[in-house]
Structure 1
Amino acid sequence: MERFYLITGDVDWIKKLVPYGVKLVQLRIKDQSEEVIRQQITQARDFCSQHGAQLVINDYWELALELGCDFVHLGQEDMDSADFATLRKAGVRFGLSTHDEEELDRALSFKPEYVALGPVYLTKLKKMKWAPQGLERVSRWKKMVGETPLVAIGGLTPERLAGVFEAGADSAAVVTDIMQAHNPIARTQEWVEACKQ
């Protein structure tokens, strides 16, 4: 699995940043009409295909199926309504969010492509009912997930990267550190380089 996992809320960011070495990117659209979501997914799918990047669609698994995308990410609530049998039949891979052991057990029962754990550190992205999980929890999760790749998310910076990988994460998912950077392109390049080392 790619070590650097970019998450962004708009296809325009995908077009801006993917050319700088991003190979795994999630499109996480919030509060848009279905028409806009459909347009964004279609553009992101085509752009990522041209640039050899793996696109992951957050939440909208039915649209992802319809539009021929092959990877989705689902939160715990989305898992209630997702048709995993249909996803599997269509060859669509999926990653699942987890925050506690009960959620992890549930996620692993679906045999996901990866499991995400967060927030590892304090995050500004959204109000979380979970306190920062810390590196110890990352290590514990890695033991519990076995061969399933583990994605760390929440408050990550290039400076914290070595510790996150040493703790057992296979991939680092990044939102705020890039989206709120003074120069998102330069910050993306920094992340791509840091994840290679």
Structure 2
Amino acid sequence: MRNRIDIPAGLYGITGEAFSNGKSNLRCAEDMIKSGIKIIQYREKDKPIREKIKDMKEIRELCRKEGVLFIVNDHVDVAILVDADGVHVGQEDMHPSDVRALIGPHKIIGLSTHSPEEGMASLDEDIDYIGVGPIFPTTTKDREAVGLEYLDFAVKNLDIPFVAIGGIKEHNIKEIIKAGAERICLVSEVIGAEDINKKVKKLNKLMKNRN
């Protein structure tokens, strides 16, 4: 088994124009990067593929220039095309072993998990990190919330970096921090903010004051 590629702790950024209050994916990526976020995932469900590719090429170049990891959601072929740093897939998407066969050993693979069983199964896969969630009810994922119980299980039992995700907001992030998560994603709370930089600073302050 290859050594896992390190995933930075802190906030994990995800795009999505349906949740950004009119801001483009590129604008959101720019603002997140300026705010100090070190990993950006391009996730966009509804755009035509040519527009997605245009977005990804622009964001990929921005991330490369700023030393930020760039992950593509689902689209393994486009991730290869734009030379992304990695791919994130779900339980119903291409199997991680098939993704690895396509992208090679030096790229990152993330896998969404939604239960202790899926979390434990992920330990046998050639992946670098998992998503744990959705913790709370959320409009960004069409799936029931798994609650804090799975997060607690992940902290205590899963020897793999994970990102807590799903329904996390400024008002409940302390619960996620207290549970022990070191990587946290807030989608609409960040990209939907009127001032992304201001929002990220507030969230970072909460994460630093873990007690």
What TM-score do you get using the length of structure 2 for normalisation? Answer: 0.81
Other-structure match for 1:62: 77
Structure ranking higher in helix proportion: 1
Other-structure match for 1:6: 13
- 8 Å CA contact 1:5–1:173 kept in 2: the answer is yes
For residue 118 of structure 1, report the CA deviation from its aligned partner. 0.8
Other-structure match for 1:138: 151
- 8 Å CA contact 1:65–1:92 kept in 2: the answer is no
For residue 152 of structure 1, report the CA deviation from its aligned partner. 0.5
For residues 150 and 126 of structure 1, what CA distance do their matches in structure 2 show? 17
1:170 correspondence with 2:177: no
What is the aligned-residue RMSD (CA, Å)? 2.1
Structure 2: 5+ residue stretches without partners: 1-7, 17-24
For residues 118 and 73 of structure 1, what CA distance do their matches in structure 2 show? 14
1:39 correspondence with 2:54: yes
SS in 1 for 2:172: helix
For residue 153 of structure 1, report the CA deviation from its aligned partner. 0.4
Decide which moves more: 5-14 or 185-194.
185-194
Other-structure match for 1:83: 99
- 8 Å CA contact 1:64–1:72 kept in 2: the answer is yes
What TM-score do you get using the length of structure 1 for normalisation? Answer: 0.86
SS in 1 for 2:136: coil
Structure 1: 5+ residue stretches without partners: none
- 8 Å CA contact 2:133–2:166 kept in 1: the answer is yes
For residues 153 and 172 of structure 2, what CA distance do their matches in structure 1 show? 18
Letter in 2 for 1:23: K
